Structure 1
Amino acid sequence: MELLMTRLHEATVLLYALSVLLYFIDFLHNNRRANKVAFWLLSIVWVLQTIFLCLYVVKTGRFPVLTIFEGLYFYAWVLITLSLIINRLLRVDFIVFFTNVLGFMVMAIHTFAPVQIESEVLAQQLVSELLMIHITLAFLSYGAFTLSCVFSILYLIQYDLLKRKKWGKRLIRLGDLTHLEKMSYILAVIGVPLLMFSLILGIQWAYIKVPNLSLLDFKIIGSFVVLIGYSVYLYIKIRKQMYGRMLAFLNIGIFMIVLINFFLFGSLSTFHFWNT
């Protein structure tokens, strides 16, 4: 039963992450379809959280607010509830998105905290799964950023061919400039929330497993620089309406930071290459 409940909590976190990803897309583009799907996913999360909350009250015979650990769970439930109300009644996308980012952080901290598991073996397994999810999300985000950079490079190649009037099969196969720029942007949009989720879970894992954890670790700083860099890229693209070669060069430049963070800062990190 404890294993089943653990798996249900993990599934709830994954559903919440998908919901936040869709809210992010809606936040950037006012996409009603993404907002609708995100709302229903979050509704499922709220139902599951409410069931877990009621089961805990029945089990303990009291309301779960007497400890910090219990408070986190109730706090996450409150944030999800408020987010659903705001999304349905007020339609303030900025508040909805960032409320859910905070809610995801709180829920992740609660779900993957080994203190909630009575079995020591299961607690260690939960921490290992936390690490695997962190690594998987990190590589998925890096994959999205890599493809985004590739499309920017293809954009520059196509732009150069058009400028020099080099007509031929290569020009046709590369595709039009609008499509290349759009694909580069979409992949960056996908990569940013994936990296954000990875950082949230990774810091929690490090807090549990690494004694005397310092947030000044090279890899942590580098990862946040990458996240900020791509966030600036999205801001310039959407708010400043930047297009063309300058945006492509900016994307490639930020991807160079990704490579530096992965290869150089990873080797300088105090714990990222530990055998866990």
Structure 2
Amino acid sequence: MFEQGMTRLHELMIVLYAASILFYFIDFLQQNRKANKIAFWLLAIVWILQTIFLFLYMFRTGRFPVLTIFEGFYFYAWVLITLSLSLNRLLRMDFTVFFTNILGFAFMAIHTFMPFQLQSETMAEKLVSELLLIHIVMAILSYGAFSLSFIFSMLYLLQYHLLKRKKWSQRLWRIGDLEKLEKMSYILNGIGVPILVLSLILGLQWKFIKLPNVTLYDPKILGSFILLIVYSVFLYLKVRKGMYGKNLAFINVLAFLIILINFFLLSRLSTFHFWYM
């Protein structure tokens, strides 16, 4: 009965999430403020339902649900919605919410249709550790910040393209000015990098305690450090070299592609995250 209720709740979330994105798309095409308001409140309802689902899952399992990739996708989607709603209320950047939640919906859909693996769940139960838990949560939070930064860079490139082609329209002004988009991208990466550093420190500490036989040349470990180096280079180019504009936005987009490779491919090749698949 409990599992059936959780399933129905999740199905309702997916439907409302899809409807929210549809209304945001209508607003994107037609500058329809009524559609924008409906989309926002639908997304707020999805966030409430997601939070309820998260707490019910925690009550059912007795732990914070991030120890399998199945759970990680869900928490990542929740982080994206939380950040996008917060930014929308603080900065009123509607298109940021739209593009962010396309990404969030993709992860929710993967979570919904991914076959649940009992072996992974059983292994995760054996590996419950506060150190591991904090490591994973902080890694996902940093990925959430990097994802929003990626969205801002994509909007920067779109705005740059429209300005260069002199496409003057209401949509141009609603995307936001280039300086603001670049600044938000930089701030989010500035938040994400120290969180990722702390996550890697905790992850390595957990590895030396629990998995001393796992090599530091593990694909997941190497991928995470490459990711840290790339985003650190981004910050260095911005702060010390004064780089700005289209080239910096392209670097940020490429950095996000490394996140996807690290998250999807290297996690499966890793012996460090052998339960996380």
Q: TM-score range by the shorter chain?
A: 0.5 to 0.7
Aligned: 1:175 with 2:202:
no
Alpha-carbon displacement from aligned partner over 1:70-112 (angstroms, at most 9, x marks no partner): xxxxxxxxxxxxxxxxxxxxxxxxxxxxxxxxxxxxxxxxxxx
Match in the other structure for 2:147: 146
Alpha-carbon displacement from aligned partner over 1:147-199 (angstroms, at most 9, x marks no partner): 11110000000011111111112101100000000000000000000000000
SS at match of 2:205: helix
Deviation for aligned residue 1:273: 3.4
Deviation for aligned residue 1:133: 0.3
Report the identity percentage.
66
Match in the other structure for 1:129: 130
Match in the other structure for 2:253: 252
Query: Tell me, which stretches of 5 or more residues in structure 2 are unaligned?
Result: 1-124
Query: Tell me, which stretches of 5 or more residues in structure 1 are unaligned?
Result: 1-123
Deviation for aligned residue 1:271: 2.8
CA distance in structure 1 between the partners assigned to 2:160 and 2:143 by the alignment = 25
Match in the other structure for 2:203: 202
Deviation for aligned residue 1:126: 11
Deviation for aligned residue 1:215: 0.5
- Total equivalences in the alignment: 153
What amino acid is aligned across from residue 231 of structure 1 in structure 2? S
Deviation for aligned residue 1:238: 0.9
Deviation for aligned residue 1:209: 1.4
CA distance in structure 2 between the partners assigned to 1:133 and 1:235 by the alignment = 27
RMSD of Structure 2 on Structure 1 (CA): 2.0
The answer to whether the 8 Å contact 1:127/1:205 transfers is: no
CA distance in structure 2 between the partners assigned to 1:128 and 1:270 by the alignment = 18
What amino acid is aligned across from residue 201 of structure 1 in structure 2? L
Deviation for aligned residue 1:223: 0.3
Distance 1:203 1:175, change over 3 A: same
Query: How do residues 1-276 of structure 1 correspond to structure 2 at under 5 angstroms?
Result: 128-274=129-275
Distance 1:215 1:127, change over 3 A: same
TM-score (norm 1): 0.53
Distance 1:159 1:230, change over 3 A: same
The answer to whether the 8 Å contact 1:151/1:184 transfers is: yes
CA distance in structure 2 between the partners assigned to 1:162 and 1:191 by the alignment = 29
CA distance in structure 2 between the partners assigned to 1:125 and 1:172 by the alignment = 52
Deviation for aligned residue 1:206: 1.4
What amino acid is aligned across from residue 255 of structure 1 in structure 2? F
SS at match of 2:166: coil
CA distance in structure 1 between the partners assigned to 2:205 and 2:248 by the alignment = 34
What amino acid is aligned across from residue 210 of structure 1 in structure 2? L
The structure number with the bigger radius of gyration is 1
Deviation for aligned residue 1:240: 0.8
CA distance in structure 2 between the partners assigned to 1:200 and 1:211 by the alignment = 15
Deviating 4+ runs (over 4 angstroms): 124-127
